[in-house]
Amino acid sequence: MDSRERFIEVMKFNKDARAVKWEFGYWGKTIKNWYSQGLEEKKYPKIPIDITTFQASLYTTAWITEWRNKGSKEGEKIELPNGIGVWGGGTYWPNQGFPLDNDVANFFNFDKSTILVKIEQLLYPKFDIKILGEDEEKLTYIDIDGVERIYLKDEATIPTSMKWPITDWDSWKKIKEERVNTDNIKARFPENWDELVKDYKGRDYPLALGGYPLGIFGTLVHLIGYENLFYYYYDKPKLIKDILNNFTDLWIALWEEILSQIDVDCVHIWEDVSTGTASMVSPATFKEFMTPYYKKLTSFLKSKGVDIILLDTDGDCNELIPLFMEAGITGLYPMEASAGMDVLSARKKYPDLQIMGGIPKSRIPLGKAEIDKLLEPIAELLKYGGYIPYGDHLIPPEVPWEDFKYYRDKLNKLIDKNGKI
């Protein structure tokens, strides 16, 4: 089976299909450490420099700041910022301006990454990028989603949002009229769409819709801000519902046009609605402000034959799993063990839930005996199907290359042992 076929069979709980070999990803500093510790550098992760879709290009302006300031030319190597993510195949690409790893994937013979359909799925047209200020320590700018952000160069992680474009009904009405409507669906397609369709139809990799920052909670967070959103649930519920109605209508209209031309294998929804200890929203808030819109989307998708609907939320989402499933979500990742997520227990409690991730990354550098121990429940879980094992978020710089090799070699052997095809 190719990577696409394997992904589909695993998600269908075909117990004979070996699990897909992916990792969630790695921090930039991790990859740079590994190159100095023995990983052969054949194809250095390439940071995209072009602004294309929201999914692909949010934060790109920050990642290429130093490269741009040096007057570098297209094609020249951009050193990985320590705090950038490097995707390992376990989500989808392109995504957040992060590069896609090649050298680790080739070393361990990973499967091909899921690819995101190249369509503008959030705001159209985008906001213009504006540099508001820059010095040796930071860059302040307005990103393509209209959010004012600060990028700290030494820290070099995802920029911090400071101001958001939706602050009241008037600001939302302006955005809705100018950038969120179904009258210009065709304009959201790239000029080379016909070429992409040919590639998509002949693919050997999974193809996805959705992606960061599309979500019933996540999109609101991006355009309103976490703290503001929590107040708005109580102070401005009609505004929240109007925003969600318009975005879900937009996504359904857009996806219907896409699905009339190609088929896709899955949809990814980004939320990050959990903290390290619990959900950020109550079950009552979830049922009022999330469930109806999930059902609207998932019912449409399943009517079109798309029955793999994966949701990305970090933290402890134990109390949310039944709510997600009731709303039509079919799978969750990265299932952070460090936040209390036990993937084997989740499988036994929710036998139909598709799961990705769940391996405690923080325990990998603790030595071979600890790695052997942490993989014991993974070996058991693989027998059930519907599971793709990998680290429960980006692999941190504290994990040496030798420890990662031992962990990944053993995990690959478990995967191969369990799969017959």
- SS3 labels along 79-135: CCCCCCEEECECCCECECCECECCHHHHHCCCCCCCEECCCCCCCCCCCCCEEEEEC
Q: Angle 8-10-15 (CA atoms, 0-180°, nearest 5)?
A: 140
Q: Does 359 have pLDDT greater than 90?
A: yes
Instruction: Give 274's DSSP letter.
Output: B
User: For 275-285, what is each residue's pLDDT tens digit?
Assistant: 999 999 999 99
Please report where in the chains the tokens 């990814």 appear, as a residue: 268
> Is there a cis peptide before residue 213, judged by omega within 30 degrees of 0?
yes
What is the predicted pLDDT for the residue at 74?
Answer: 78
- Say how far apart CA 89 and CA 388 lie, in whole Å: 11
Environment class of 136 (CB within 10 Å of its CB; exposed 0-12, middle 13-18, buried 19+): exposed
Q: Does 318 have pLDDT greater than 90?
A: yes
Sign of torsion over alpha carbons 229, 233, 236, 241: positive
Q: What is the DSSP string of 338-389?
A: GGT--HHHHHHH-TT-EEE--B-GGGGGG-HHHHHHHTHHHHHHGGGSSEE-
Number of domains comprising the chain:
1
CA nearest neighbour of 90 among 418, 372, 358: 358
Do residues 86 and 26 lie in contact, with contact meaning Cβ atoms separated by under 8 Å? yes
**Phi and psi, residue 296, nearest 5°:** -60, -45
* 170: CB partners within 8 A, 6+ apart: none
- Say how far apart CA 309 and CA 311 lie, in whole Å: 7
Do residues 170 and 158 lie in contact, with contact meaning Cβ atoms separated by under 8 Å? no
Identity of the residue numbered 102: N
User: For 244-274, what is each residue's pLDDT tens digit?
Assistant: 999 999 999 999 999 999 999 999 999 999 9
Sign of torsion over alpha carbons 165, 334, 395, 21: negative
**Phi and psi, residue 148, nearest 5°:** -85, 125
- Say how far apart CA 67 and CA 77 lie, in whole Å: 9
Identity of the residue numbered 218: G
Please report where in the chains the tokens 């975005």 appear, as a residue: 247
User: For 361-391, what is each residue's pLDDT tens digit?
Assistant: 999 999 999 999 999 999 999 999 999 999 9
- Average pLDDT rounded to a whole number, residues 402-418: 97
Q: Does 73 have pLDDT greater than 90?
A: no
Q: Does 420 have pLDDT greater than 90?
A: no
What is the CB neighbour count within 10 angstroms for residue 294? 22
CA nearest neighbour of 79 among 136, 35, 24, 113: 35
The domain that contains 386 carries what CATH number? 3.20.20.210
User: For 177-229, what is each residue's pLDDT tens digit?
Assistant: 999 999 999 999 999 999 999 999 999 999 999 999 999 999 999 999 999 99
pTM to 2 decimal places: 0.97
Secondary element (H or E) of residue 334: strand 331-334
* 10: CB partners within 8 A, 6+ apart: 17, 19, 20, 385, 386, 387, 388
156: tokens are 């070099």
Domain that holds residue 365: 3-418
Q: Does 357 have pLDDT greater than 90?
A: yes
Identity of the residue numbered 21: K
Please give the biggest Cα pair distance in the chain. 59
